Amino acid sequence: MKIFKQSPTDTSFVQNPYPAYDRARAMGDLVWWDDYKMPAAVSYRAVRGLLTNRKFGREALTAPQCPAHLADWQANESHSMLELEPPRHSRLRGLVLRAFTSKKVAAMAPQITETCHRLIDAFPAQPFDFLNAFARPLPVHIIAKLLGVPTDRSSDLLSWSNAMVAMYQSNRSYEVEIAANQATLEFTAFLDSYIAHRRSQPRDDLLSDLIAAEEAGEKLTGAELISTCILLLNAGHEATVHTLGNALKTLLPSPHREVTPQLVEEVLRFDPPLHLFTRFAYEDTTCFGFDIHKGQEVACLLAAANRDPAFVENPHVFDPHRKSTAHQSFGAGLHFCVGAPLARLEISLSLQLLFDRCPNLHISQAPTYANSYHFHGLDALMVQT
C-alpha cells in the first residue's frame, strides 16, 4: 500500500482537494494516508466496495477513549444511529424512516417553498452572504418542522448544531471540544423539557412517533430518542448548507438555470459537502490486494470516488445533462443517508425558486472554502441580486 501524504488543513488542499485525490488514486484503490495513520479508499470501486461490505461497519470494536471534558458529547454519540450497527441501528433506522416515506417527503414541498419565498423576500439590495441569508436558515427550519420542535428556537438549534458538528473537523481544538460538550448539554436539556411537554400533546410529526415508540417500552429508550433528534438536525442541516453553497458557487458563473433531476445529482457528485467517512474492519480481511486487520479504521473518500474517471467520463467537468449516476455523496449500504429524499427535494425546489425570482443573482466576491475538513463548504458566499 503506497504512502499518501497530504495535510487536510493545508490551504491549497482545503481550497481544492481534487488534485490530491487524483494523485492518491493514481497510487491504487487503497493508499496509506499518513496524516491520518490509516488506509484510505480513493477509487470508486474501493469506496463503494467498503461501504457495502458487511465485514466493515461504523461501530468501533472497543469503546473509544473519552476525556472527561467530552463525556456528555460522547454519551450522546453512543446512542447515535450513525455510530451503530445492527440490531440497534436497524431498530432506530426503521423508526426514523417513518418520516422519510415518499409521501411524507412530498408533503414537505409547500413548507419548503413557503420558507424559500420568505427568505428571498428578505434579501437586501446590497451584497450579502447567501449562506447566512438562505442556506443556513432553510434546512434548520425544515428539519425542525419535520421533527415537530419549535421553529422559533431555530437560532438555538443552529448554534448547538454548529458547535457539535465542529467535532468532525480535522482541525478541532480544545476550545471546540468544550463548546461541543456544552452544546450537547444545552441541546439535551431543551429536548428533555420539550419532550416532557409533548407527551400529552402528540401531533403528526416524527417526534410524536418517536415518543410513542419510547412509551411502548420496546423500541426506543429516552437517550436514543434525544440522540436521534440531535442527529437528524445536525446531519440534515450541515450537509444541505454546504450543498446549496457549493451548488451556487458552481452554477452562478454558468448559464445553467433549469433545475432538473440530472442537475441536482450532478451538483451532489461534483462538489459534495462531506468528503470523508470511516469504517472499522470487523475481521481480518483482504481488500483490493491489501490486508486489513480486525479493528482497523479505514477512510472512505466519497468525493474522490465521485471524481474517479473509471466511474464517470470527464469527472472534473460539471455536466448538468449527465445521466444519473450512483454517486457516493449520500454514502452506500446500511448507512446510506436516510434524509437523501428530503435533501434532493430541498435542493431542487430552492435552486429553481432562486433562479426564477432572482434572475440576476451573481457572485459579488470570490468565495473561499472553510478549513473544516472532513466537510467541504464555503466560509461565505457573497452575492447580489
**pLDDT at residue 256 is higher than 80:** yes
pLDDT of residue 245: 97
**Three-state DSSP class for 80?**
coil
pLDDT of residue 209: 83
pLDDT of residue 355: 97
Domain CATH for 345: 1.10.630.10
pLDDT of residue 248: 97
Could you tell me which residue, 31 or 235, shows the higher pLDDT?
A: 31
pLDDT of residue 343: 93
Contact (Cβ atoms closer than 8 angstroms) between residue 47 and residue 328: yes
pLDDT of residue 208: 87
> Which pLDDT band, with edges at 50, 70 and 90, does 375 fall under?
very high
**pLDDT at residue 33 is higher than 90:** yes
What is d(CA 318, CA 250) in angstroms, rounded to the nearest whole number? Answer: 8
Dump pLDDT digits (tens) for 319-342.
Answer: 999 987 899 999 999 999 999 999
Burial class from Cβ neighbours inside 10 Å (0-12, 13-18, 19+) for residue 257 reads middle
Residue 14 belongs to domain spanning? 3-384
**pLDDT at residue 345 is higher than 90:** yes
pLDDT of residue 84: 92
pLDDT of residue 234: 87
Strand residue runs (E) in 128-167? 128-129
Kindly report whether the global pTM for this prediction surpasses the value 0.85.
yes
Percent of the chain with pLDDT over 90: 74
Amino acid identity of residue 8, one-letter, is P
**Three-state DSSP class for 181?**
helix
pLDDT of residue 241: 94
> Which pLDDT band, with edges at 50, 70 and 90, does 123 fall under?
very high
pLDDT of residue 205: 85
**pLDDT at residue 41 is higher than 90:** yes
Contact (Cβ atoms closer than 8 angstroms) between residue 199 and residue 74: no
**pLDDT at residue 378 is higher than 90:** yes
Total of domains in the chain = 1
pLDDT of residue 169: 85
